[in-house]
């Protein structure tokens, strides 16, 4: 069947990877992928349910598409987390004729074929078929230089506020054989950086250790880090790490391998033991700080980022102070702060959401002020230093500037008209902005 398909992606890196995978399967089945909804016969929204705002944006976009294509009636489908959670209920929206769950990506070509042949209200929320492979051709990736490589899907942790274990199901790890073959393939195609991704990468636990033989490590993830480093891929990053499963051997593996990058994202969510218990995070403030201590003592400086939720049900001023203190102690290079928003169906949704919207905003701003001060100091510490930047795109602010990330995952801009995308530039930092660094090009690797 030849038809044009447009996929719009909301949410996290896992959704970006799923879109790449869906696109790859559709192209193999003869579909043409297009860059805008205007020319498409089929419009798919790869949805995110982690926050209420992302879900609202999905329905706004469906409405916009429907009204712009009123006379043509393209097939409109929802895939991803909202599809998995809402299922049949999505058909209450008369624009939607196809619902594809998080594990049904590889069955999309067949579902679309049926939809184009006039079937309405098609739904697939089933599990992945045995033996499905994850490989995505280079041409289908979001970038020609940086590739996302999922190593684990789903989550078993059931933090009380989070919908992911319901939308993405239980943890399933890919075999190392499969992951390493993908990384070797990416290297052959000229990729210079991979991100090993998953809701909790360091909970990686494949059914067999095929591919990890001969690699030391305290956990399968530590072995996988060393095995990935041995592929010779130039830069390797991984996200997100779960505090309870953060073994000190991860830091040792980074110290031993230069191509394991100097950045760790370790979400704390709160600095108050009382709130952490209510969140069912499985770690205490002290457990978390012990892990941070290991990271801080590494032989090379590791950049550290985190997530915090403010205004969780029952959070008091004193809990917030504990969080502010934790943030000050950890000295994060970057912090994603979220105001708590209830996700229906989670245990936390049964708790009275007793922190008002205004109070959540006030707490958000107070914590942001603390983080800004810390971040300014850290960013100013880069002045005069050299960083290796993988050049990912032209800057959106200046026609002559290029932008990319350092190995410590900072955004770096620099005047680089002569530099091609995909090169690694040596840049000396001259200016520290609140969320990025600006520098001068020294040379290109």
Site residues (vs ligand SF4, CB under 6 A):
155, 157-159, 162, 164-165, 199-200, 242
For residue 291, the minimal CB distance to ligand SF4 (Å) is 15
Residues 6+ apart with CB under 8 A from 123: 87, 88, 91, 98, 99, 100
Gyration radius of the chain over CA positions: 22
Q: In this complex, which beta carbon is closest to ligand SF4, that of residue 154 or of residue 404?
A: 154
For residue 422, the minimal CB distance to ligand SF4 (Å) is 32
Q: In this complex, which beta carbon is closest to ligand SF4, that of residue 69 or of residue 172?
A: 172
Q: In this complex, which beta carbon is closest to ligand SF4, that of residue 279 or of residue 378?
A: 279
Q: In this complex, which beta carbon is closest to ligand SF4, that of residue 66 or of residue 157?
A: 157
Q: SS3 of 63, please?
A: helix
Measured N-to-C along each axis, helices 220-229 and 176-188 cross at an angle, to the nearest 10 degrees, of: 20
Q: In this complex, which beta carbon is closest to ligand SF4, that of residue 348 or of residue 441?
A: 348
Q: In this complex, which beta carbon is closest to ligand SF4, that of residue 165 or of residue 248?
A: 165
Q: Do residues 63 and 96 make contact, with C-beta atoms less than 8 angstroms apart?
A: no
For residue 333, the minimal CB distance to ligand SF4 (Å) is 20
CA-to-CA separations, 152 to 134, 172, 193, 262, 282, in angstroms, rounded? 11, 6, 19, 21, 20
For residue 338, the minimal CB distance to ligand SF4 (Å) is 11
How many other CB atoms are found less than 10 A from the CB of residue 156? 13
Output the DSSP codes for 230-251. Answer: TTT-SEEEEE---GGG--HHHH
The residue whose two tokens read 């009275």 is 352
For residue 50, the minimal CB distance to ligand SF4 (Å) is 8
Q: In this complex, which beta carbon is closest to ligand SF4, that of residue 25 or of residue 198?
A: 198
Of 208, 211, 153, 155, give the one whose Cα is nearest residue 179: 211
Output the DSSP codes for 377-421. Answer: HHHHTTTT-EEEEEEEEE-SS-TTEEEEE-TT--EEEEE-TTPPT
For residue 46, the minimal CB distance to ligand SF4 (Å) is 18
Of 64, 140, 69, 74, give the one whose Cα is nearest residue 105: 140
For residue 442, the minimal CB distance to ligand SF4 (Å) is 39
């Amino acid at each position: 069947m030849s038809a044009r398909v447009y996929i719009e992606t909301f949410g996290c890196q896992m959704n970006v990877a799923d879109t790449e995978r869906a696109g790859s399967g559709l192209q193999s089945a003869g579909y043409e992928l297009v860059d805008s909804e205007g020319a498409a016969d089929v419009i798919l929204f790869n949805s995110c349910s982690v926050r209420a705002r992302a879900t609202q944006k999905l329905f706004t976009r469906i409405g916009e598409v429907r009204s712009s294509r009123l006379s043509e009636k393209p097939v409109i489908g929802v895939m991803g987390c909202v599809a998995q959670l809402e299922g049949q209920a999505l058909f209450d929206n008369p624009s939607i004729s196809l619902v594809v769950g998080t594990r049904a990506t590889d069955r999309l070509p067949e579902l679309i074929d049926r939809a184009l042949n006039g079937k309405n209200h098609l739904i697939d929320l089933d599990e992945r078929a045995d033996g499905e492979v994850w490989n995505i051709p280079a041409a289908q990736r979001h970038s020609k230089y940086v590739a996302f490589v999922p190593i684990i899907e789903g989550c078993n942790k059931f933090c009380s506020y989070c919908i992911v274990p319901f939308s993405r199901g239980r943890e399933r790890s890919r075999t190392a054989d499969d992951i390493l073959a993908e990384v070797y393939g990416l290297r052959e195609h000229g990729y210079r950086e991979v991100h090993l991704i998953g809701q909790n990468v360091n909970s990686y636990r494949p059914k067999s250790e095929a591919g990890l033989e001969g690699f030391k490590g305290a956990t399968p993830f530590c072995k996988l880090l060393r095995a990935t480093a041995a592929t010779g891929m130039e830069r390797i990053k991984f996200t997100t790490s779960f505090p309870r499963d953060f073994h000190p051997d991860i830091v040792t593996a980074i110290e031993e391998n230069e191509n394991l990058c100097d950045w760790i994202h370790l979400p704390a969510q709160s600095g108050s033991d009382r709130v952490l218990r209510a969140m069912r995070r499985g770690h205490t403030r002290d457990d978390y700080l012990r892990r941070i201590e290991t990271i801080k003592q590494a032989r090379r400086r590791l950049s550290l980022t985190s997530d915090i939720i403010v205004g969780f049900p029952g959070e008091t001023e004193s809990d917030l102070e504990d969080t502010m203190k934790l943030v000050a102690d950890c000295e994060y290079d970057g912090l994603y702060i979220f105001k708590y928003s209830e996700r229906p169906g989670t245990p936390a949704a049964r708790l009275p959401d007793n922190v008002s919207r205004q109070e959540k905003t006030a707490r958000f701003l107070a914590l942001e002020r603390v983080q800004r001060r810390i971040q300014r100091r850290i960013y100013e510490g880069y002045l005069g230093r050299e960083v290796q930047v993988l050049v990912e795109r032209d800057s959106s602010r200046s026609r002559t500037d290029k932008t990319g990330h350092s190995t410590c995952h900072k955004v770096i801009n620099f005047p680089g008209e002569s530099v091609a995308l995909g090169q690694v530039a040596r840049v000396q930092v001259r200016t520290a902005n609140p969320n990025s660094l600006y520098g001068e090009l020294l040379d290109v690797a």
